[in-house]
Each structure stands twice: as C-alpha cells, then as structure tokens.
Amino acid sequence: MLQIANLDVFYGDAQALDAVSLEVAEGVIVAIVGANGAGKTSLIRTIAGMNRPRAGTIHFRGQDIAGWPSFKVCDLGIGQVAEGRQVFPTLSVAENLEMGAMLPRARAHRERNRDRVLSLFPILAERSKQAAGTLSGGEQQMLAIARCLMGEPQLVMFDEPSLGLAPAIVQDVLRTIVQLNKEGLTCILVEQNVAVSLKIASHAYVLENGRIVMSGTGGELLGNDKVREAYLGM
C-alpha cells in the first residue's frame, strides 16, 4: 500500500531523516519505534505532505506522492492522528468533526461517518456543543481519532496517541486502534508504550537519529536484546 524509499528530510541544515525506507502492506499495523528526537514525527509529517522531503519517494497505491501538498495527500485516504491531538480548541466538538469531513472524498458520506464515529465514541455525542479546548485530554484524543475517521481514511498514522493519558484510557485508545484495524484500516503507529505497540503490530521499524536501524515482525523485535535494552528497559 505504502512504499517509502531513501527519504531524506532536513530542517535547514539539520537532517531529520536519512535514507529512510519502509513498507506498509494493506490491512496491517506497522509500529515505528524510536527515542525522543529520532524522527518519528518528521516521518509522519513528511508522508502527510506537511514537510517536503529533499530526496526519496513515497509511493501510495503506486503513485509517488512525495512533495504533494497535505490536502491532496489527505484526499487519497491517508489520515493522521497527529502528535498533540491538534483539535480546534474554540470550535465545538461537532464542528471539529465536520472539519474532518471537508475532504472531497468524504463529503458525500458525512452523515454515515458521523453516526459511525459517534457510536464508537458516545461521549463525543454528549459533548457535541462543547468547545473542543474544554474537553479532557482523553476526550480530545477520541475527538482527534473521530475527526480523522470522518475523512474515510484507508491508512491512518497515529503519532503518540496515548501521550499524557491515564493508563486506563491508554488501554481504550489502543483497543480502539486494534478494533479499527480489524475492520480493515491500515495503521502506522508511533507509541511510547513500545511493548504494547510491538505486540499489536505485525511489523515494526526502529528509528535512530533519522535512520532505520532495525526492522522485523513485532514479535522479533520484542525478542531482540537491543530493543529490550533500549526501549523496554529490560
């Protein structure tokens, strides 16, 4: 579904990604593991068209989308649950959801998708008139996921969806991701909770200083001594 080859990304002179190559097959969860500043968010933003790569290709369903503007990338069905949630704080919950459905691909199915995400997250229906900025962290995360689903994505990139959430809610969020994946959604998952993300991922890549240093099935990496030492604290 997604093939990335030799991607280089720079901020000024500082290189954030160095010859990154990876592949995401249809219907899987792929985990990206890496320390703070490794380049995980940069990778996601580059796929999403929010950063321009200096070199490399990003093929989505056979089309090279490297350097495309974000609104075109989104309309292909590549959604993002961004780092820091990025909800619209002064817009109501309902308006936030509407904004997720502005993509040409999703406009026609707005009602159906709204019903679907509200049955997935009933709390958002209760809060629909409330300004998104007044929601709790967990509710904002649900809103970010729901808003993303309003765009009918086929691939969703989750960037630290559980950051700052209480453990019980972390479980909810991860369970939701697994559930969505079972319904056919392809996922890229960046998650600080490395053990869990490797458990639910069918494939995983380890990113260090902008380079992919290791990859394998989730199980392989879970069993790898270096990974256990560096990311699982064992």
Partner 1 sequence: MPLETYINVIIGGVLTGLVYGLMALGLSIIFGVVRIVNFAHGEMMTIAMYVAVVAFSQFHLDPLLMMVPIAAALFALGYVMQAGLINPFINRPEHSQFILLVAVALIMVNLLLIIFGPDAQSVQTSYSLDSYEIAGVIIDATKAYTGAAAVVLSAALFAFFQMSRTGQSIRACADNYTGALVVGLNVKHLYALTFGIGAACVGAAGSMLVLLIDVTPALGPGYTLLAFIIVITGGLGSMPGALLGGVLIGVTEAMAGLLFTPSAKSMFSFALLVIVLLFRPQGILGKATR
Contact 117, 82 (CB under 8 A): no
Exactly one of 22, 31, 38, 87 binds ligand ATP (CB under 6 A); that residue is: 38
Least distance (Å) between residue 86 CB and Mg ion? 12
* Closer residue to Mg ion (CB): 75 or 83: 83
* Closer residue to Mg ion (CB): 75 or 208: 208
Least distance (Å) between residue 136 CB and partner 1? 18
* Closer residue to partner 1 (CB): 102 or 178: 102
Exactly one of 13, 14, 168, 225 binds ligand ATP (CB under 6 A); that residue is: 14
Name which of Mg ion, partner 1, ligand ATP, none residue 4 binds, using a CB cut-off of 5 to 8 Å depending on partner kind.
none
The tokens for 58 are 């990003």
* Closer residue to ligand ATP (CB): 14 or 234: 14
41 makes contact with Mg ion (CB under 5 A): yes
Read out DSSP for 58-116?
Answer: EEETTEE-TT--HHHHHHTTEEEE-TT----TTSBHHHHHHHHT-SHHHHTTHHHHHHH
Rounded CA gap, 197 and 138, in Å? Answer: 18
37 makes contact with ligand ATP (CB under 6 A): yes
Outline where DSSP puts E strands in the chain. Answer: 2-11, 14-24, 29-34, 55-60, 63-64, 78-81, 155-159, 186-190, 203-208, 211-216
13 makes contact with ligand ATP (CB under 6 A): no
Q: What is the DSSP letter of 153?
A: -
Contact 82, 147 (CB under 8 A): no
Which of the stretches 31-39, 65-73, 147-155, 223-231 binds ligand ATP when contact is defined by CB under 6 A?
A: 31-39
Name which of ligand ATP, Mg ion, partner 1, none residue 20 binds, using a CB cut-off of 5 to 8 Å depending on partner kind.
none
Name which of partner 1, Mg ion, ligand ATP, none residue 168 binds, using a CB cut-off of 5 to 8 Å depending on partner kind.
none
Name which of Mg ion, ligand ATP, partner 1, none residue 103 binds, using a CB cut-off of 5 to 8 Å depending on partner kind.
partner 1
**C-alpha triplet 54, 216, 228: angle, nearest 5°:** 105
Buried b vs exposed e over 87-124: b needs ≥16 C-beta within 10 Å? beeeebbbebbeebbebeebeeebeebbeebbeebeeb
Binding interface with partner 1 (CB under 8 A): 48-50, 69-71, 73-75, 80, 82, 84, 86-91, 95, 98-100, 102-103, 147-148, 151
* Closer residue to ligand ATP (CB): 146 or 190: 190
CA distances (Å), origin 81, targets 78, 135, 227: 10, 17, 25
